[in-house]
Structure 1
Amino acid sequence: MKLDTRHGWNYDGCTKCAIKTIEQNDSTYCPTCKKKPDSVEPKLKIHYTVEDETGKVTVVFWDKLAVQLLHKTVAELKAILHDDKRTYDFPDELDNLIGKKMILKLKINAYNKKYSNSSISVTQYTECGDLINEFTEANDEGQVEDNSKEVSNQHMDKPQNDEPVEKHQLSVQQVPQNYVGLEEITITELVKTQLEPAVAQTKGKRKCAAKK
């Protein structure tokens, strides 16, 4: 839906583990490597507000996925900002994903569970149109099936003669025959043959005011 500009768009990360470094005792320290990193380099960290039928959430594309999506590194984007002498700090290229429909695989950690409004990291994604359609159709069919089960179950709860009866196990939710079980297969496996996603062409309307 939109680029979230509250958290910046890049950070200095350890070249070995990509974790954000911190300043400790007048020196740079990597919380994962537990030592001063051999070297530090700028990395992408882009926040977007996304929405589906269940609601909205802020997600984070970290460096590796962000570079795949934008086809540009932090250094290249900073060079563009410098050469164009732009009056704001966020490259226009970050707006390229606005309006795109994707399937995202998210990583929920303990911090997300404790703070419901925290940003959630994206671990995998796909823009494959056929896969998105199958996913949507399967969800729609599943909702219809669930509603049918509720109605059927109401009639099973109590027999007309008030005699106890054995409860019946409801059948497993049915999905279209050509549907690949998304509950059992990761997105990576589903899109093994998919070409690298093309760079989106749709741009948002954010200009200088976005910095505020």
Structure 2
Amino acid sequence: MNQLSLSSTYSTKVYINLDHQQDYIHWDSEEVAKNKRTIREIIKFLVQSKSQEALFYCMAVVKKVNAENGWHYVSCTDCHKKAKTIGSKIWCEGCKKEFSSPTRRYRLELHVKDESGSTIFVVFDKEAERIVRIPTTQVYTTEIKDEDDEEDVVPKPIKILLGKTYMFQIKINPNNIFTTKQNFTAIHVFEDHEYKQLQHEQEEKNQILPLK
């Protein structure tokens, strides 16, 4: 049986190359191998764990995009947390500020599955935008407005995720442990071919590598 272990530090760092406008990642293949888990093993960790934090990697396929809770949220332009829409104004309770125009960010609830089971991975904002490849505002403007504001419908650009395999970097925190709703936040998502390419190049070079 695999021995579950905690990761106290993040093994993935993202850098920006301003000259080429590309994302770069320092990929620690040993850390990934050490903390790679199946969905069943991640859930088992939650059952056995107390107030602890961990970072795991999980390869899974997207079976469904849950839209019951929407696929985006209106956020504060300062803290990026969810804001309330009051009439024509946007109010952030945390910052105690009012905004006139909404900032929309992705919040995708992905129903994922591997050989051991299934669960929900939640992907936010820029990480979701990277795999959808279209900004949130553009999807909202071109898709939702054409469908009479049916925000519980999954827009076509987001449906491209269905059936695809990704490597999810999952962050476990006390919120996962003490909640009855089973879902996990994915702080990074890599397409299957991206992960395999990075893994191969890391073995050869062991240096900073481009995502694209």
Q: Measure, in 2, the Cα distance between the counterparts of 1:49 and 1:90.
A: 13
Conserved 8 A contact 1:103-1:132: no
Q: Which residue, out of 68, 82, 106, partners 1:6?
A: 68
Cα displacement string for residues 104-145 of structure 1 (whole angstroms, at most 9, x for unaligned residues): 01122222111253321110121143745998xxxxxxxxxx
Conserved 8 A contact 2:198-2:209: no
Q: Measure, in 2, the Cα distance between the counterparts of 1:6 and 1:13.
A: 19
Counterpart of 2:188 in structure 1 is 124
Q: How does 1:155-170 map to 2 (within 5 A)?
A: none
Counterpart of 1:143 in structure 2 is none
Cα displacement string for residues 142-192 of structure 1 (whole angstroms, at most 9, x for unaligned residues): xxxxxxxxxxxxxxxxxxxxxxxxxxxxxxxxxxxx599xxxxxxxx9883
Q: Greater Rg, structure 1 or structure 2? A: 1
User: What stretches of structure 1 of length at least 5 have no aligned partner?
Assistant: 136-177, 181-188, 196-212
One-letter amino acid of the counterpart of residue 98, structure 1: L
2:210 is equivalent to residue 193 of structure 1: yes
Counterpart of 2:171 in structure 1 is 107
Conserved 8 A contact 1:128-1:194: no
* Aligned residues: CA RMSD: 3.5
One-letter amino acid of the counterpart of residue 169, structure 2: K
Counterpart of 2:120 in structure 1 is 58
Range with bigger deviation, 117-126 or 5-14: 117-126
| Alpha-carbon offset, residue 3 of structure 1 | 0.9
| Alpha-carbon offset, residue 95 of structure 1 | 0.9
One-letter amino acid of the counterpart of residue 106, structure 2: L
| Alpha-carbon offset, residue 71 of structure 1 | 1.8
| Alpha-carbon offset, residue 66 of structure 1 | 1.4
Identity level (%): 21
Conserved 8 A contact 2:106-2:129: yes
Q: Measure, in 1, the Cα distance between the counterparts of 2:65 and 2:96.
A: 34
Q: Measure, in 2, the Cα distance between the counterparts of 1:30 and 1:191.
A: 38
Change (3 A) 1:41 1:133: closer
Q: Measure, in 1, the Cα distance between the counterparts of 2:211 and 2:132.
A: 17
Counterpart of 1:77 in structure 2 is 139
Conserved 8 A contact 1:102-1:132: no
Q: Which residue, out of 96, 107, 116, partners 1:35?
A: 96
Change (3 A) 1:47 1:130: closer
| Alpha-carbon offset, residue 81 of structure 1 | 2.0
2:162 is equivalent to residue 98 of structure 1: yes
Task: Tell me the secondary structure at the aligned position of residue 105 of structure 1.
Answer: strand
Change (3 A) 1:29 1:134: closer
Structure richer in strand, relative to its length: 2
Cα displacement string for residues 79-121 of structure 1 (whole angstroms, at most 9, x for unaligned residues): 2225754795331111111111111011222221112533211
Task: Tell me the secondary structure at the aligned position of residue 118 of structure 1.
Answer: coil
Change (3 A) 1:71 1:40: same
